[in-house]
Structure 1
Amino acid sequence: MIKDDEFIRNDGVPITKEEIRALSLSKLNLIHSDSVIDIGCGSGGMTIEMAKIAKKAYAMDNSEDAINTTKANLEKFNIGNCELISGDAKEELEKVLKKLKESNESNELNALPSENLKIFIGGTQNIEEILKIANKYSIKTIVSNTIVVNTGLKIAEILENYGYEIDLINMNVSYGRKIKSGYMMIARNPITIITAKK
């Protein structure tokens, strides 16, 4: 795992913290023949880690600051197998999935079976539409992280209704800080990680 402080950061652009990235990557269970789509890529923390494993990564965000930060990190870590996509995730996800489906149906070399396409959702404003599109294109593995507990439960309920098996984890990470009398633990926001598989 890359340390958080190694990433290029910009104010107001979030990054998935190292420990959360580690567990999220474990839940995605990526292999070298996979392609993965990062929705709400932020600073590109998950994008970089996923692209290091997968055959191809797509990183989407509607924030130009996020796209620029992710681009800078892709360059810093010499990642060449990632396509950056700026715009509304609902529209851009449909475009990417349609393109991949068409290439698969035409039996082109390197066509991608649906089980080798996975989605990570770090943040999005149109979660119902995103999940509807993912289900429409028979995505087998979806991992979503959220700070808001209600959003996590909503995602789980929607995906369960689509026939996915759901795994929910709420992860609390605290970092030790040295003080005169020893160490005190400083807590970060708890994160809910939803894993959905078919």
Structure 2
Amino acid sequence: MHFIKDEEFIRGNPPMTKEEVRILSICKMNLQKNYKVLDVGAGTGSISIQCSKICSEGKVIAIEKDEDAIEIMQENKNKFNCTNLELIKGEALDVMNNIEDEFDAIFIGGSGGNIEDIISGYGNKLKENGVMVLNFITISNLYRAMEFLNKIGYKTECTQVAVSKLKGKSGMLIANNPIFILVANKK
């Protein structure tokens, strides 16, 4: 399987899930080629694009509220020929009722501070035994999500990933933000 490298994506100012975190997060979804996947808070679409390539016989829906991010995602969609990727512009909670699909996997990369409502609402669109993968930078948001998911009956596990890369002639290590990858299995 070919995983897309960071430098292959068209970039801009909106945030992008970095390569190592993207690969681990997608692996945690256990995707199959016919899966339906939802990406909430898709940013520049790096997760959506990669899922689209893996789920070549399935469907991917990406929700993003930022206009700049949507434009970059559309450019990446075209670049990687992702014909099974649908982009939806809007706040996750505002567009939720317009999405009638049921999903095998859901990725949540952004919540705009409404994590419990997003988990609850979109969790109703997750198939039984489906998986929800969430990425967090802050411990407080991780805790809120984990506590809520456990309360509503999901089985959770969390991994913290810290990636540093060598830069310059001297080989100085430059760290990316540590990221928490929360996996929630619907029982």
Q: Is 2:134–2:182's contact at 8 Å kept on the other side of the alignment?
A: yes
Asked whether 1:142 is paired with 2:132, we answer yes
Which is higher, the Rg of structure 1 or of structure 2? 1
* Alignment CA distance shift 1:119-1:138 (3 Å): closer
TM-score normalised by structure 2 residue count: 0.91
Asked whether 1:89 is paired with 2:92, we answer yes
Paired residue for 1:117, among 104, 116, 128?
104
* Alignment CA distance shift 1:171-1:146 (3 Å): same
Q: Is 2:105–2:126's contact at 8 Å kept on the other side of the alignment?
A: no
Cα shift readout 1:79-123 (whole Å, capped 9, x = no counterpart): 100110001101323321xx22xxxxxxxxxxxxx5x52110111
Structure 2: runs of 5 or more not aligned: none
The structure with the largest helix share of the pair is: 1
Asked whether 1:160 is paired with 2:150, we answer yes
Cα shift readout 1:37-58 (whole Å, capped 9, x = no counterpart): 1111111110110111121000
Q: Is 1:120–1:143's contact at 8 Å kept on the other side of the alignment?
A: yes
| Aligned position for 2:72 | 69
What displacement does 1:129 show?
Answer: 0.9
Identical aligned pairs, as a percentage? 39
Asked whether 1:179 is paired with 2:182, we answer no
Q: Which amino acid aligns with 1:25?
A: I
TM-score normalised by structure 1 residue count: 0.86
What displacement does 1:184 show?
Answer: 2.3
What displacement does 1:150 show?
Answer: 1.1
Distance 1:41 1:137 in 2: 17
Cα shift readout 1:3-59 (whole Å, capped 9, x = no counterpart): 111111112x01000000110011011101210011111111101101111210001
Q: Which amino acid aligns with 1:82?
A: L
Distance 2:34 2:46 in 1: 21
Distance 1:10 1:178 in 2: 23
Q: Which amino acid aligns with 1:2?
A: I
| Aligned position for 2:118 | 130
What displacement does 1:138 show?
Answer: 4.6
Q: Is 1:28–1:141's contact at 8 Å kept on the other side of the alignment?
A: yes
Q: Which amino acid aligns with 1:117?
A: D
Distance 1:194 1:151 in 2: 11
Q: Is 1:135–1:162's contact at 8 Å kept on the other side of the alignment?
A: no
Distance 2:123 2:39 in 1: 16
Distance 1:46 1:136 in 2: 21
